[in-house]
């Protein structure tokens, strides 16, 4: 206590008691106090501002949170709920649907911030006019020009005594001797000529009638020899020498290459027998095979540049002279014929070649001459090949519109022409200068699908595929309202009870597939097959008998398919057919079990075609997806037992 008092006294000792020291001390205290007030006041103002800002932010957050949040399904955008939960169709978790304040936008428009545009990597390109050029490549081979092929044939029947060309490939000149033929008929014709000549000479001083007749006979004999292949000079030599030729000499009618030798020396031939085939290779054909998709780019008169492996680096030019109007059904190609001069004989028949054609299209999609490509008015509209989203017969592109500080993208259907390399010709739907999305279009389309608005897949919007629309029926599994329902047949209790094991094994298959257990499903298929065969066919009378024959045959076939299934997908394919039969049998005969059956439908099964099946509980157990989407689907109908039915 004493020590504490002493300390206080020592501190008070520093305070002046009087005079100037006291005044200075008081002034220091005032300054310090004033500075402290200034500092305290500044911090208080800052705190006040911070508190005000905090209150303002809270007010904004409360205002934002006061707006109701809409929850939707990423697989079924038509589902829109005010609270989070599960999708009533596929039982996936719902996601919040963000509000984009797009009340002033059209149904196919999407507003996006610049930041979102950059994150989506969206790129645009202006629609422009340009000539669509496409490089068409074709493979082909060298062939003879059919107009330059000649044949040496026997004009008279006889024996080939001498053949001057012994092998194919030999070059011959026009008028060159090719073969000597010994022909008895030719000898007789020469003798007739000589006799006719002698008759004319004997009757030189006779009556005019006889002289005329003899002259006609002489002319006929000469014509006969000419038709046998003798030239005028040969006939004249026979008349002057009065010597019968035992052989006739056949000469080559053209210059060319012997490409076929169809006879041998010493053979007997008939009139018209081909002995040699000669082809003039100074002009040849090049036959190309063009795929049917390339035919719009081809036209008679176009130039083809082709090369051959036999002459590396050397290019040849040919002109299209004919395009075959018939497609080869095996290769799906059409024959394109070109002609080319071959004065040096470099190109040989059956050489393989590769050709290239540069084709240019006008705005109507017609192939035009390269010289016309200088006219800007003929140029069609073109867009990059990455711009359109193709779905069947439709093509959708997205156009960027200017809307203040945020870009707006609008979907538009267009009519496309042929594709030319990296470009598509646009026939309608776009205007020159519009900015078309070339990268990121699918992301824009996906956002519109999520918002259940018109998109690539759905013109009217609604999201999801038609099969995803809950409540729609499969076009192949169940008859719609416009189709005829199966005619019900009343069975006696004993017959109806005989079907119970069949239903029981079917439900074993159903639950096994819902549990993704292939082995159990295969075992259940075996049991179902046996139970169907164990049903006494004699229990069914009249019309019911014919129905049972139909159902039993189909169920056994589907059960065998399930037994032979190597994987669960094949097993589910068999279950699909089996379910259709079981459902129709239930509608026709009913069931005798003391429990209800439930007709269940999944719109997403079998690649969105949808599928029905029966089960014994009112909770969905999806046999087509198993654990992956066990609760996907809905109960369509409760089927009560009909034991009360009697004949």
In the prediction, which pLDDT does 45 show? 46
The token pair at 561 is: 């398919």
What are residue 152's DSSP bridge partners? 276
User: 448-454: long-range contacts (C-beta < 8 A, 24 or more apart)?
Assistant: 448/108, 448/110, 448/411, 449/77, 450/72, 450/74, 450/77, 450/97, 451/77, 451/97, 452/72, 452/77, 452/78, 452/80, 453/107, 453/108, 454/107, 454/108, 454/411
| Residue 521 CB contacts under 8 Å (≥ 6 apart), including other chains | 509, 512, 513, 562, 565, 568, 571, 575
The distance in angstroms from the start CA to the end CA of the chain is 118
The token pair at 103 is: 């009340």
Residues 626 and 513 sit within 8 Å (Cβ to Cβ): yes
In the prediction, which pLDDT does 1 show? 46
Q: Is 442 left (phi over 0), alpha (psi -120 to 50) or beta?
A: alpha
Q: For 402, which DSSP code?
A: -
Distance (Å, rounded) from C-alpha 459 to C-alpha 392?
13
| DSSP run (H or E) holding 627 | none
Kindly tell me the sign of the dihedral angle through the C-alpha atoms of 173, 177, 183, 185: positive
In the prediction, which pLDDT does 479 show? 43
The class level of CATH for 146-279 reads: mainly beta
CA distances to 178, 233, 259, 423 from 172, rounded to whole Å, are 9, 22, 11, 53
Distance (Å, rounded) from C-alpha 538 to C-alpha 541?
7
Q: Which residue has the tokens 């050029």?
A: 133
Residues 630 and 647 sit within 8 Å (Cβ to Cβ): no
The token pair at 156 is: 């008279």
In the prediction, which pLDDT does 3 show? 46
In the prediction, which pLDDT does 226 show? 85
Distance (Å, rounded) from C-alpha 552 to C-alpha 585?
10
Closest CA to 230 of 255, 193, 279, 259: 193
Distance (Å, rounded) from C-alpha 328 to C-alpha 338?
18
Distance (Å, rounded) from C-alpha 537 to C-alpha 175?
91
CATH code given to domain 283-371: 2.40.30.170
* DSSP characters over 344-357: T--S-TT-EEEEEE
* DSSP characters over 476-527: TTS--TTSPPPPP----HHHHHHTHHHHHHHHHHHHHHHTT-HHHHHHHHHH
In the prediction, which pLDDT does 10 show? 46
Q: Which residue has the tokens 């090049």?
A: 286
CA distances to 136, 194, 218, 245, 462 from 241, rounded to whole Å, are 67, 10, 16, 10, 104
Distance (Å, rounded) from C-alpha 469 to C-alpha 326?
45
The token pair at 353 is: 């070649």
Closest CA to 144 of 344, 354, 355, 340: 340
The token pair at 277 is: 């085939």
Distance (Å, rounded) from C-alpha 625 to C-alpha 304?
56
Closest CA to 612 of 644, 571, 583: 583
- Residue 478 sits at the vertex; the CA angle it makes with 473 and 483, to the nearest 5 degrees, is 100
Distance (Å, rounded) from C-alpha 403 to C-alpha 400?
9
Closest CA to 492 of 416, 589, 424: 589
Distance (Å, rounded) from C-alpha 69 to C-alpha 473?
32
CA distances to 73, 92, 94, 445, 553 from 80, rounded to whole Å, are 8, 13, 9, 19, 46
Residues in the chain with pLDDT values less than 50: 1-12, 14, 38-65, 463-477, 479-483, 644-647
In the prediction, which pLDDT does 125 show? 94
Q: Locate the domains of the chain by residue range.
A: 2-63, 68-99, 109-130+380-464, 146-279, 283-371, 468-639
How is domain 109-130+380-464 classified at the CATH fold level?
2.40.420
Distance (Å, rounded) from C-alpha 462 to C-alpha 73?
12
């Amino acid at each position: 206590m004493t020590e504490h008092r002493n300390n206080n006294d020592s501190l008070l000792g520093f305070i002046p008691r009087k005079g100037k020291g006291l005044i200075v001390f008081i002034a220091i205290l005032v300054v310090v106090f004033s500075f402290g007030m200034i500092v305290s006041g500044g911090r208080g103002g800052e705190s006040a501002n911070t508190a005000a800002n905090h209150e303002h932010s809270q007010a904004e957050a409360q205002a934002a949170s006061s707006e109701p949040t809409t929850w939707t399904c990423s697989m079924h955008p038509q589902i829109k709920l005010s609270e989070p939960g599960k999708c009533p169709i596929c039982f996936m978790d719902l996601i919040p649907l963000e509000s984009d304040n797009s009340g002033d936008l059209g149904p196919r428009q999407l507003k996006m911030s610049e930041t979102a545009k950059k994150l989506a990597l969206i790129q645009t390109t202006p629609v422009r006019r340009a000539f669509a050029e496409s490089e068409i490549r074709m493979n082909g081979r060298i062939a003879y020009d059919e107009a330059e092929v000649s044949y040496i044939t026997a004009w008279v029947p006889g024996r080939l005594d001498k053949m001057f060309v012994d092998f194919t490939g030999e070059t011959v000149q026009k008028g060159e001797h090719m073969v000597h033929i010994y022909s008895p008929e030719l000898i007789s014709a020469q003798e007739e000529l000589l006799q006719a000549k002698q008759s004319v000479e004997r009757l030189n001083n006779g009556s005019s009638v006889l002289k005329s007749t003899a002259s006609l006979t002489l002319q006929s004999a000469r014509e006969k020899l000419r038709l046998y292949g003798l030239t005028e000079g040969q006939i004249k030599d026979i008349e002057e020498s009065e010597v019968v030729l035992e052989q006739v000499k056949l000469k080559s009618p053209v210059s060319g290459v012997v490409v076929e030798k169809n006879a041998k020396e010493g053979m007997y031939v008939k009139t018209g027998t081909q002995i040699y085939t000669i082809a003039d290779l100074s002009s040849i054909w090049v036959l190309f095979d063009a795929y049917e998709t390339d035919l719009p780019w081809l036209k008679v008169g176009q130039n083809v540049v082709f090369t051959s492996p036999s002459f590396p680096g050397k290019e040849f030019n040919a002109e299209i002279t004919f395009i075959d109007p018939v497609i080869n059904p095996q290769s799906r190609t059409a024959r394109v014929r070109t002609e080319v001069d071959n004065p040096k004989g470099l190109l040989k028949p059956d050489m393989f070649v590769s050709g290239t054609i540069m084709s240019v299209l006008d705005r109507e999609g017609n192939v035009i001459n390269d010289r016309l490509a200088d006219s800007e008015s003929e140029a069609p509209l073109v867009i990059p090949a990455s711009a359109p989203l193709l779905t069947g017969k439709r093509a959708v592109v997205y156009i960027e519109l200017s809307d203040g500080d945020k870009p707006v993208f609008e979907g538009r259907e267009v009519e496309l022409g042929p594709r030319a390399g990296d470009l598509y010709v646009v026939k309608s739907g776009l205007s020159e200068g519009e900015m078309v999305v070339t990268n990121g279009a699918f992301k824009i389309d996906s956002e519109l699908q999520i918002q259940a608005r018109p998109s690539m897949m759905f013109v009217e919007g609604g999201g999801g595929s038609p099969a995803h629309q809950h409540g729609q029926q499969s076009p192949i599994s169940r008859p719609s309202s416009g189709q005829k329902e199966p005619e019900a047949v009343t069975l006696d209790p004993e017959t109806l009870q005989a079907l119970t094991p069949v239903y029981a094994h079917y439900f074993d298959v159903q639950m096994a597939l819902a549990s993704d257990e292939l082995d159990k499903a295969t075992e259940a298929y075996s049991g179902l097959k046996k139970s169907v065969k164990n049903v006494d066919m004699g229990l069914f009378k009249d019309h019911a008998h014919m129905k049972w024959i139909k159902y039993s045959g189909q169920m056994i076939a589907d059960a065998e398919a399930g037994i032979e299934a190597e994987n669960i997908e094949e097993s589910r394919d068999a279950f699909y057919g089996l379910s259709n039969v079981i459902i129709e049998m239930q509608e026709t005969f009913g069931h005798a079990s003391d429990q209800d059956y439930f007709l269940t439908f999944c719109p997403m099964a079998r690649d969105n075609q949808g599928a029905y099946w029966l089960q014994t509980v009112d909770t969905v157990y999806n046999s087509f997806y198993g654990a992956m989407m066990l609760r996907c689907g809905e109960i369509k109908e409760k089927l009560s037992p009909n034991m009360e039915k009697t004949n």
